[in-house]
Amino acid sequence: MKTKLSIVKIGGNIINDDQELSRFLKLFSKIKGNKILVHGGGKKATEIGEKLGVISKMVNGRRITNTESLDVAIMVYGGLLNKKIVAELQALGCNAIGMSGADGNTITAKKRPVGDIDFGLVGDVEKVNSSSISVFLNAGLTPTFCALTHNGKGQLLNTNADTIAAELAIAMSSEFETTLYYCFEKKGVLRSIDDENSVLQHIDSKKYKSLLADGIIADGMLPKMHNCFHALQQNVKQVCIGNSDMLQEENSNFTTLTL
């Protein structure tokens, strides 16, 4: 039987609020067994970028990463946020180790090919080095990833945190029974967007298709759910979507996805 592994991804809604982040980290630190944390950015990067006079370039509503904005990402995601999360987890008795994909050569990526848009220094995950990550897990460490990868040729690349979490979960599933948690601001996938309590507690492939057909899964939820089912098809055991409370053992009011 494979050992269990929990991979938890948090985004801006938690990172932007010190109190909410502390609350989350307390819950995260209590997860038993092997665990990995993946964190995105948040408004701090925008704030620091503005102060430094770095202007986020947008094309067709998509953010472009140039050298200056990558430097801000490295400073804020890889430095400020990552190290503070690690120090706080250490205080909670969780032996965290902060990393980008360059550290221990854990995640390599390719610069996204230039199509209609040149996204700049953005990377699409190429390979997760699961054996390197296993060394950390087996030593009792909790790898804590920021949303940066590298191309193996000395270039760091900005990479979507949701994707990093999914790719980590897929790669680690060869050795571990992996559950992937996406923590966001809502209690789960909602049947009705206006009703916070209309959480769909379980979605399998069949239900997913019908929800798509009925237009219940739409907008921002579309790529997220696509990512989730992609991970499930690649041997990830289950994916859970909800807010920080889903990490509380007694709580079951969140969305669980299985094939």
Cα angle for residues 165, 167, 168 (degrees, 5° grid)? 65
Q: Which listed residue (15, 31, 96, 125) binds a second copy by CB under 8 A?
A: 96
The answer to whether 146 and 98 are in contact (CB under 8 A) is yes
Stretch that binds a second copy, among 79-87, 165-173, 214-222, 244-252 (CB under 8 A): 79-87
Give least dist CB 237 to a second copy, A.
27
Binding-site size, a second copy (CB under 8 A)? 41
Tell me the per-residue interface mask from 109 to 148 with a second copy, x by CB under 8 A, - otherwise. Answer: -----------------------x--x---x-x------x
Q: Which listed residue (15, 38, 103, 184) binds a second copy by CB under 8 A?
A: 103
Give Cβ neighbours of residue 238 (< 8 Å, ≥ 6 apart). Answer: 179, 180, 232, 256, 257, 258
Residue 259 near a second copy by CB under 8 A: no
> How far apart (Å, rounded) are the C-alpha atoms in residues 66 and 114?
14
> How far apart (Å, rounded) are the C-alpha atoms in residues 216 and 207?
11
The answer to whether 10 and 39 are in contact (CB under 8 A) is yes
Residue 56 near a second copy by CB under 8 A: no
Stretch that binds a second copy, among 28-36, 151-159, 166-174, 213-221 (CB under 8 A): 151-159
Is 41 known to sit in a ligand binding site?
yes
Binding site for a second copy (CB under 8 A): 48, 51-53, 71, 74-80, 82-84, 86-88, 90-91, 95-100, 102-105, 132, 135, 139, 141, 148, 150, 152-156
